[in-house]
Amino acid sequence: MKKPPSPPLSTATLLTHAGSHPQRYHGAVSVPPHRMSTIVFDTYEEFEKVPKTPFYYGRAGTPSSAAFEEAIATLEGAHNSVSTCSGLSAILVALIAFTRAGDHVLMPDNCYGPSRKSCEDILRRFGVDIEYYPPMIGGGISALFRPHTRLVFMESPGSLTFEVQDIGAIVAAAKAAGIRTAIDNSWATPVNLRPLAHGVDVCVMSATKYVSGHSDAMLGVVSANEECWPAIKRAALMLGLCAGSEELYLASRGLRTLHVRMAQHQASALDIAHWLATQPAVKRVLHPALGSARGHDNWKKYYQGASGTFGIILHETDRTKIARMLDGMTLFSMGFSWGGFESLLFPEQPAPIRTAEPWTESGFSLRLHIGLEDTTDLKNDLEAGLKRLLA
């Protein structure tokens, strides 16, 4: 974009143009992948400016990372953003940036499993006290604050169980106590939620998911307000978590169609979620936009829309029948991750993970990612699967 927007541009327009500087690349509208480690300096005077020069070593940033980060920061309304090699590493940056031995961090009980493992295996080992809190706690979080509480991490909706958090209430409580907040926004993306506009300090995304959108890249990004930015950038640099140029290129390219894909994922997933709610084999649908979801009112309050990822609980728990259903699917594949063009069906077990608030829902849980296929074809695949389950 040539000039900063005035009046403010809509998300669709920002997704189309943010981070693009054709004049720098012989008129090319997309930034080519810059494969660089060594960057040489013409003069000693230039050399002396490091690290204040825009680029001085591949790990610290390249035109490919700068273009992606500029686009994300614009979309998030952040002071700045930094890309990392995966969503998980982006989460670690947010956690490590503000904590030291003796500090206390509050994590939601329904957080992404590997986030929890990293907290246990790394942060706890380095003396950070991790406490898991019930995700629907809202303003009640302040009862858990201790003198050394440094950070409240949120993930909304939560992995596997899709509770939508009261972001505003948690932020207000944390701010009143001088505690930082961070959120994992991989599900909503800035198309459907801009956490910094609600006062969250740091927003983390797995760009592997919807941002890249084509199941072919691993990437993370951390965005922060002005106050938190220096600590975030320093942590990413010190941990050496740089992203590859190819991945940055793919994610920058993915951004250009993010809003269009998100609208389709949302429409198709809602159609299928409503249909699943009428199926006798389905006990409950866990979709933030449906009244049956915990935190549905929070979703209405904070979110502009939904993505294509949600959960269901089946009445059936018999392993043989579940396997018969899953093994026979033709369009839905079993796979980790979500956010790509293809539909996925993922068997999950929330109960053993939780410690702060037991997951008491009986029945077998499945996570669905609704891809860009035709919904009639997808329903036919699911209907046949549910028949195998009941046979």
Ligand X SMILES: *Cc1c(COP(=O)(O)O)cnc(C)c1O
Which candidate in 209, 233, 284, 367 is catalytic? 209
Of 235, 211, 186, nearest to 88 (Cα)?
186
Q: Which helix (H) or strand (E) holds 206?
A: strand 202-206
Among the listed residues 62, 74, 86, 365, the single contact to ligand X using CB under 6 A: 86
Give the residue with the Cβ less far from ligand X, 88 or 174: 88
- For ligand X (CB under 6 A), the number of binding residues is 14
Helix (H, G, I), strand (E, B) or coil at 271: helix
Q: How many CB atoms lie within 10 A of CB 316?
A: 17
Give the residue with the Cβ less far from ligand X, 130 or 172: 130
Q: Which of residues 313-372 bind ligand X (CB under 6 A)?
A: 337
Contact flag: residue 220 with ligand X (CB under 6 A): yes
Q: Compute φ and ψ for 152, nearest 5 degrees.
A: -110, 120
Which candidate in 24, 35, 49, 59 is catalytic? 59
- Minimum gap (Å) between residue 21 Cβ and ligand X: 27
Confirm whether 112 is a catalytic residue: yes
Confirm whether 132 is a catalytic residue: no
The residues, ordered by sequence, that sit 6+ positions from 129 with a Cβ below 8 Å of its Cβ are 102, 103, 104, 105, 148
Helix (H, G, I), strand (E, B) or coil at 22: helix
Q: Omega into 157 within 30° of 0, i.e. cis?
A: yes
Window of 83-91, 100-108, 137-145, 223-231 that interacts with ligand X by CB under 6 A? 83-91
Confirm whether 59 is a catalytic residue: yes
Confirm whether 209 is a catalytic residue: yes
Q: Which of residues 168-197 bind ligand X (CB under 6 A)?
A: 184, 186
Write the DSSP string, 92-120.
HHHHHHT--TT-EEEEETT--HHHHHHII
- Minimum gap (Å) between residue 160 Cβ and ligand X: 9
Give the residue with the Cβ less far from ligand X, 92 or 141: 92
Token pair belonging to 327: 């093994």
Catalytically active residues, by annotation: 59, 112, 184, 209
Site residues for ligand X per CB under 6 A: 86-88, 112, 155, 159, 184, 186, 206, 208-209, 218, 220, 337
